[in-house]
């Protein structure tokens, strides 16, 4: 089990009062009923990917080169945040494309060093937290 502190949330009351700031931890645990990720060590390598049914992570990519940490982070963006890819794919014509150094976009073209998760990747968490704070508007902010 591990905790992962994500971004802070600013809660502003709808009718007067003081704003409050929340820091939310995401709890990860190994649960056989949850999303299954199969980790493949050694060679031959493969193409890491996450699908609705589960995911595969490879230590080495399909060219047998050591998989990059940024790709692992990208794949965990799918698995943990349910974030979608943000790069062009002819097979997915409706995909939202971004050019703001998102780790879910084409970080090879936009620059791996600048790639980060964005506030939008955490919006679904804010929606869940908002249910616990009726009368407040919640806004997520980068830390
Ligand atoms: Zn992806």
pLDDT in tens, 101-125: 999 999 999 999 999 999 899 888 8
Q: How far is the centre of ligand 1, averaged over its atoms, from the C-alpha of 70 (Å)? A: 11
Please give the distance, rounded to the nearest whole angstrom, from the Cα atom of residue 114 to the centre of ligand 1.
17
| Predicted TM-score of the model (pTM) | 0.78
- Name the one residue in this structure whose structure tokens are 């943990």: 80
The CA 66 to ligand 1 mean position distance, Å, reads 18
Distance 119 CA to ligand 1 centre (A): 17
Strands (E), the chain: 2-13, 20-28, 37-40, 49-51, 54-58, 136-141
Query: Domain locations in the chain?
Result: 2-141
Closest CA to 117 of 99, 107, 104: 104
Query: What's CA 22's distance to the chain center, in Å?
Result: 19
Name 49's bridge partners: 56
CB distance 26 to 3 below 8 Å:
yes
CA of 18 to the centre of ligand 1 (A): 40
In this predicted model, what pLDDT tens digit does every residue of 51-104 receive, in sequence order?
Answer: 888 999 999 999 999 999 999 999 999 988 889 999 999 999 999 999 999 999
């Amino acid at each position: 089990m591990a905790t992962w502190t994500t971004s802070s949330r600013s809660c502003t009351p709808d009718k007067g009062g003081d704003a409050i700031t929340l820091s939310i931890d995401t709890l990860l645990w190994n649960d056989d009923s949850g999303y299954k990720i199969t980790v493949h060590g050694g060679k031959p390598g493969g193409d890491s990917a996450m699908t609705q049914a589960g995911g595969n992570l490879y230590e080495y990519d399909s060219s047998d080169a050591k998989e990059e940490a940024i790709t692992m982070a990208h794949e965990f963006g799918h698995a943990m945040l349910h974030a979608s890819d943000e790069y062009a794919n002819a097979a997915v014509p409706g995909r939202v494309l971004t050019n703001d150094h998102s780790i879910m976009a084409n970080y090879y073209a936009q620059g791996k060093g600048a790639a980060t998760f964005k506030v939008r990747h955490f919006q679904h968490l804010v929606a869940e937290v908002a249910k616990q704070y009726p009368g407040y508007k919640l806004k997520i902010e980068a830390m």
